[in-house]
Structure 1
């Protein structure tokens, strides 16, 4: 059963008590990501995430790591397009240490100029690592194309120029603008004493009063149809085809997940079975939806031999036309429902996944669906709901295509896909 509590300063706390486990997972969520950046400070959200591990008024970077390592726990963080999350998983007996370390990082980080310069080198190497990964490149290229007039299209990591420009004042000002009471959610799942946890959080958050309530202004994100190539001297060609998807909170969200399961989201999916198993044309081929607050993206990916680009695009187009014309069968609909429910229930066996689920739901939707409600949403999906999503997503004339590898630009991928 989920509980939602507001601390005295207004910060939201969502909790799920699971008494039969011996662990507890905590997440400190901030509603800020690369979408809130601009061309001058792109990557600053991710850089701040790194810097919170580099020392506080009370702990060095090594002591932060040792505090959790010494109790056998896990400490980490991630930055996405729309949020940042700092999280820990520990034995239930050590929840006080996890709360102390995470709040120390959030409220007492020093942003030492020396540590900043060292961390710039670390992040630049992370950018280089992504540049050396063509599979990551092609997804980033697609995003930069379809949202090229919006901050949603900018990379989470930033680039060499922006990262090198960061200074302590930039980081502190960005935190003042975005690490606010209304932008923060604490999510906790596992075995804990609720009264004691709230008491500890009240103590740690008592001086956090950043109520910077300037209105958040983000331009509406619009999907742009385009074709993009990036030449790399590699053996494999990486292909992404993107369609405008479904935003977070939409009634079409679960029908979309169900459709994707059958189309390209599993090993028994149509794309996988046709292109990999039957034709042997790709090692990796799949589709997946990405949902943001304003807009969504539906992506089809394939890693292939450059000589087979045209054939694979034709096969993908054939599968799209087939699902547009005929939809799903009743057997596929039932199978996809069981697949979704199975994945959902299995995911709930981890306190980490429960913490992530309730934290993200509260941060973006300001509500949390119970397990029963989620299963009912899946069970209640009708064939017409799925067909409606298929008709919305698969508009070939509005598809965008990104290709990374030894690109033969004589091949008109646009015409092949949309003919």
Structure 2
């Protein structure tokens, strides 16, 4: 059962007890990411994520790592556009130790100047690695094409120029503004007792930070076309249309639509572009849902001379679903796939912990398994057709990393407009 506790300072603790396992997954979630940055500090959220592992008043970076290695657990973090998460997974008997270390990092990191400069170089190498991975880079470009100069279009990693300029004072100011009790959620999933909950409350329930997070308006879909020329073997192409925000009433229909279009090996895109035509090894679709907007994206990696053909097939599949809908067989297959993946994910304490954090930060509520299954079952072919009709009449956003200097003539943003 999922339980929600609100501390005296406004911080939320969300727990799900699973007595049948021997592990505990813990997460400290902060409602900040690249969406809340400016051009002057773009990348600071991700850089801070790195710096929280570089030593506290009582632990060195090596001791933080060793504290989990010695007990067979793991600790890590990630930054997204709208939240940052610091998490650990350990055996149940080591859960309080994990809370000790995570809270020490959260409250007592020292941000040593020497470590600061070293870690800047680490992140700059990470940016370089990303730039050398075109099938990752193109997803940053499609966000820019969709959102233009809105912060949702910013890179999570930032740029070398901005990273070089960041100071210890910048980090502390950003923490004061964003790492506040109201912006923070601690989540726990696994086999734990009341002692763990009390340990979390002791460490997190009384701190105060007075800063106010930067407020960013709802983005407008820009529908741009961006190409980056690189000496790659393949052309990496993304096609995107506006999607839905995370709490939209049609989100379940869109999730099923994504599944049948490009979310599985039996999907229309995969079967037509890879299996029938042999035009790509990797082809798929995905939906990115944010608090107030979303984007539906198709990706394919193909030979440069085949870009036009892949684009025409992909957009014709979108138009076909928009104009003719889907079959009951496709819908039922998609429902069973989604329900299966949902139930399998619940066998992982990490997955459950992550679900708690995302739902609390972005939705402010939690659905039981029965409620989620019921929502999937309620989706009809008419509902999927309606969301396809709503989304697939928009101008497209386009992004490509390839040796080509221009998009081929038939790769245009207006092909679905009607």
TM-score by length of 2: 0.97
2:388 is matched with: 390
Aligned ranges 1:168-317 → 2 under 5 Å: 168-193=168-193, 195-212=194-211, 214=212, 216-317=214-315
Pairwise CA distance, 1:211: 4.1
- Confirm or deny: 8 A CA contact 2:323 2:389 kept in the other structure: no
Q: Secondary structure at the match of 2:188?
A: strand
Structure 1 moving runs of 4+ over 4 Å:
none
Pairwise CA distance, 1:262: 0.8
1:58 is matched with: 58
- Confirm or deny: 8 A CA contact 1:146 1:226 kept in the other structure: yes
Pairwise CA distance, 1:217: 1.9
1:328 is matched with: 326
The Cα offsets for residues 332-363 of structure 1, whole Å up to 9 and x where unpaired, read as 11111101100100000000000000111011
CA distance in 2, matches of 1:368, 1:297: 23
CA shift in 2, pair 1:83/1:242, >3 Å? same
1:411 matched to 2:408: yes
The Cα offsets for residues 286-339 of structure 1, whole Å up to 9 and x where unpaired, read as 111000011100000000000111111111122112111111101111111101
RMSD: 1.3
Deviates more, 1:133-142 or 1:109-118: 133-142
Q: Secondary structure at the match of 2:281?
A: strand
Unpaired runs of 5+ residues, structure 2, are none
Q: Secondary structure at the match of 2:181?
A: coil
- Confirm or deny: 8 A CA contact 2:11 2:205 kept in the other structure: no
CA distance in 1, matches of 2:104, 2:412: 56
CA distance in 1, matches of 2:5, 2:48: 27
1:138 matched to 2:138: yes
CA distance in 2, matches of 1:416, 1:178: 37
- Confirm or deny: 8 A CA contact 1:8 1:202 kept in the other structure: no
Number of aligned residue pairs: 416
Pairwise CA distance, 1:89: 0.1
- Confirm or deny: 8 A CA contact 1:248 1:296 kept in the other structure: yes
Q: Secondary structure at the match of 1:267?
A: coil
Q: Secondary structure at the match of 1:176?
A: helix
CA shift in 2, pair 1:80/1:39, >3 Å? same
1:39 is matched with: 39
Q: Secondary structure at the match of 1:71?
A: coil
CA shift in 2, pair 1:390/1:172, >3 Å? same
Unpaired runs of 5+ residues, structure 1, are none
CA distance in 2, matches of 1:66, 1:308: 50
TM-score by length of 1: 0.97
1:89 matched to 2:89: yes
- Confirm or deny: 8 A CA contact 1:181 1:211 kept in the other structure: no
CA distance in 1, matches of 2:201, 2:17: 19
Q: Secondary structure at the match of 2:313?
A: helix
